[in-house]
Amino acid sequence: MATPPLLWCWHSGPEFASPLRSTQVMPVRVLIVDDVESFRRAARAVVQAINGFEVVGEAASGEESLEKTRVVRPHLILMDVNLPGISGIEATRRIKEEFPRTVVLLLSTREALEFVGPVAESGAAAYIPKSMFSPQRLIEVWKGTVAGDEATSG
């Protein structure tokens, strides 16, 4: 009998993520936040290409990201830095205050070095330049976040 494929799953109970067999799957719930619809579509395609991840909502502003987070309770938020209204960095800070277990990845077309301080201060798990955003990169960052979470909770 073939072994089911590994899928990334978010456990309830002790909240940490790890690969599980497909018979035990609770997908990683992803919220996409970007004011550019074409990038939201591209990000959706990236997320849908990863087994065990699902898009549970989209938002086009920092304020809307706060509202959607309260409603859809994502495990992972892909957040653009430059948004109308409050910035993605400020939205991240507010989300992390209210939902500290939610993982936020900041995205932008700008160079990563510009955001080192603000990313760290916001509570975001990482910054990914949009030019490098891919299923493989997202998996790498998610694995790094999960490994760090398991190390601190174990």
- Domain coverage including residue 95: 29-141
The answer to the question of residue 1 being in a domain is no
The answer to the question of residue 131 being in a domain is yes
The answer to the question of residue 92 being in a domain is yes
Per-10-residue mean pLDDT of the chain, 154 residues long, equals 40 41 72 97 96 96 97 96 93 96 90 63 88 92 70 42
The answer to the question of residue 80 being in a domain is yes
DSSP string, 79-97: EESS-SSS-HHHHHHHHHH
Supply the pLDDT for residue 127.
87
Instruction: Provide the CATH number for the domain around residue 84.
Output: 3.40.50.2300
Supply the pLDDT for residue 11.
39
Q: Which two tokens stand for residue 120?
A: 């760290």
Q: Which two tokens stand for residue 7?
A: 């899928």
Give the angle subtended at the CA of 98 by the CAs of 36 and 75, to the nearest 5°.
Answer: 60
- Number of domains present in the structure of the chain: 1
pTM of the model: 0.79
The answer to the question of residue 42 being in a domain is yes
The answer to the question of residue 98 being in a domain is yes
